[in-house]
Chain A
Amino acid sequence: MYVAVKGGETAIAHSIDLLADRRRGDRTVPEVTLQQIDQQLSLAVDRVMTEGSCYDRELAALAIKQARGDLVEAIFLLRAYRTTLPRFGDTLPIDTSRMVAERRISSTFKDVPGGQVLGPTFDYTHRLLDFALMANGETAAAPTAPVDASRDLPRVGDILEREGMLEPPPAGDGAPAQDITRQPLTLPAARPVRLQNLTRGDEGFLLALAYSTQRGYGNNHPFVGEIRFGAVPVSFVPEELGFDIEIAEIELTECDMVNQFAGSHDIPPQFTRGYGLAFGHAERKAMSMALVDRALRAQELSERANSPAQDEEFVLAHSDSVEASGFVQHLKLPHYVDFQSELVVVRALRAEVEARVQQAAE
Chain B
Amino acid sequence: MPDGAYNYAYLDEQTKRMIRRAILKAVAVPGYQVPFGGREMPLPYGWGTGGIQVTAAIIGQDDTLKVIDQGADDTTNAVSIRRFFARVADVDTTTRTEEATIIQTRHRVPETPLQEGQILVFQVPIPEPLRMLEPRETETRTLHALSEYGVMQVSLYESIARHGRIAKTYNYPVLVNGRYMMSPSPIPKFDNPKLDRNPALQLYGAGREKRIYAVPPYTPVKSLDFDDHPFEIETWEQCCALCGSKASFLDEMIVDDEGQRLFVCSDTDYCEERRK
Contacts and interface: CB of A to CB of B under 8 A. Distances in A.
Pair from one complex:
yes
Interface of A: 2, 4-9, 11-12, 76, 79-80, 82-84, 86, 181-188, 313, 317, 322-323, 325-330, 333-338, 340-345, 348-349, 352
Contacts of B61: none
23 contacts: A4-B268, A8-B79, A12-B76, A12-B83, A76-B44, A83-B39, A83-B41, A182-B37, A313-B137, A322-B45, A325-B44, A326-B44, A326-B208, A330-B45, A333-B47, A337-B249, A338-B169, A341-B170, A341-B190, A341-B234, A342-B170, A348-B165, A349-B163
B107 A335 contact: yes
Contact of B74 (A5, A84, A184, A338): A5
Chain B at the A interface: mostly helix, strand, loop or mixed?
Answer: loop
Interface of B: 6-7, 10, 12, 35-42, 44-47, 49, 69-72, 74-77, 79-80, 83, 106-108, 125, 135-138, 163-165, 167, 169-171, 186-190, 208, 210-211, 234, 236, 241-242, 249-253, 255, 262, 264, 266, 268, 271-272
A4 B75 CA distance: 11
Contact of B252 (A84, A325, A327, A343): A343
Contact of A334 (B35, B46, B75, B136): B75
A186 B190 CA distance: 34
Nearest to B77: A333
Contacts of B83: 9, 12
A343 B266 CA distance: 15
Nearest to B163: A349
A2 B76 contact: no
Contacts of A9: 74, 79, 83
Nearest first, the 4 A-B pairs at minimum CB distance are A326-B45, A330-B46, A326-B44, A341-B169
A349 B168 CA distance: 12
B69 A344 contact: no
Contact of B40 (A7, A181, A328, A341): A181
A86 B187 CA distance: 37
B151 to A, nearest CB: 18
Given A325-B45, A326-B46, A345-B234, 11 more contacts: A4-B72, A8-B74, A80-B42, A84-B12, A182-B37, A184-B210, A187-B138, A322-B45, A333-B75, A338-B186, A342-B170
Contacts of A333: 47, 69, 75-77, 106
A326 B50 CA distance: 13
B215 to A, nearest CB: 20
A84 B6 contact: yes
B68 to A, nearest CB: 10
Nearest to B250: A340
Contacts of A334: 69-70, 75-77
A358 to B, nearest CB: 17
A2 B266 contact: no
B187 to A, nearest CB: 8
A8 B49 CA distance: 21
A235 to B, nearest CB: 26
Contacts of B75: 8, 333-334
A343 B249 CA distance: 13
Nearest to B6: A84
Contacts of B79: 8-9, 12
Nearest to B49: A326
A185 B210 contact: yes
A5 B255 CA distance: 13
A82 B266 contact: no
B69 to A, nearest CB: 6
Which of B49, B210, B266 has the most A CB atoms < 10 Å from its CB? B210
B257 to A, nearest CB: 15
A182 B71 CA distance: 33
Given A83-B40, A84-B10, A4 B74 contact: yes
A333 B241 CA distance: 25
A4 to B, nearest CB: 6
Which of A83, A329, A342 has the most B CB atoms < 10 Å from its CB? A83
A352 B189 contact: no
B236 A330 contact: no
Nearest to B263: A340
B74 A337 contact: no
B82 to A, nearest CB: 9
A8 B76 contact: yes
Contacts of A329: 44, 46
Contacts of A6: 74
Contacts of B251: 336-337, 340
A153 B99 CA distance: 67
A355 to B, nearest CB: 12
B188 A337 contact: yes
Contact of A340 (B72, B188, B208): B188
A321 to B, nearest CB: 10
A330 B39 contact: no
B40 A82 contact: yes
Contacts of B190: 341
Given A4-B74, A338-B186, A80 B41 contact: yes
A184 B37 contact: yes
Contacts of B186: 335, 338
